[in-house]
């Protein structure tokens, strides 16, 4: 297997591809940052559920159950957009935390207080690296 230079972009792409293929579950190699992003997606209602599978001597896996509308079969996630990239990091100050679709989406931000959403960053008055937009 080849080494991935941007694991967060890989995570978002796997979820995006699973949604396009109408999969119910997607497997993603785990890391602490991906675990935190997954917890935020569940907390905000973008995914149905998740399960962390830890293997001995291995980074583990994240199984994500994707959420679809029961009648129309439309995904709860309309878009996943990587903002901060390895070659061009995007940081925000506590005074100018981005709003996604005028508050309809969320920005996932890595701060000194952990990985949090844009709303929580505004409430706690902290800035950080803008990882991605979810809407």
Per-residue pLDDT of the chain in tens (135 residues, 90 and over written 9): 557 789 999 999 999 999 999 999 999 999 999 999 999 999 999 999 999 998 766 788 999 999 999 999 999 999 999 999 998 999 999 999 999 999 899 999 999 999 999 999 999 999 999 999 999
CATH number, span 80-134:
3.30.1490.10
Structure tokens at 3: 């080494």
Beta strands (DSSP E) in the chain are 25-29, 47-53, 61-66, 80-82, 91-92, 106-111, 114-117, 128-134
Instruction: Provide the sign of the torsion angle of the four alpha carbons 79, 75, 5, 128, taken in this order.
Output: positive
pTM: 0.92
- Taking a C-beta distance cutoff of 8 angstroms, is the pair 122, 92 a contact? no
Structure tokens at 40: 């935020």
Task: Select the CATH number that applies to the domain covering 7-66 from these four: 3.30.1370.30, 1.10.3720.10, 3.30.160.270, 3.50.50.60.
Answer: 3.30.1370.30
């Amino acid at each position: 297997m080849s080494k991935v230079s941007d694991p967060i972009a890989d995570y978002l792409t796997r979820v995006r591809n699973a949604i396009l293929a109408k999969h119910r579950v997607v497997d993603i190699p785990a890391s602490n940052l991906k675990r935190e992003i997954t917890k935020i997606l569940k907390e905000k209602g973008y995914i149905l559920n998740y399960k962390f599978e830890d293997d001995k001597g291995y980074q583990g896996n994240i199984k994500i159950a994707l959420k679809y509308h029961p009648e129309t079969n439309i995904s709860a996630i309309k878009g996943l957009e990587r903002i901060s990239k390895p070659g061009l990091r995007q940081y925000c100050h506590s005074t100018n935390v981005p709003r996604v679709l005028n508050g309809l989406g969320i920005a996932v931000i890595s701060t000194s207080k952990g990985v949090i959403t844009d709303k929580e960053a505004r409430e706690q008055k902290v800035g950080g690296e803008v990882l991605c937009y979810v809407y």
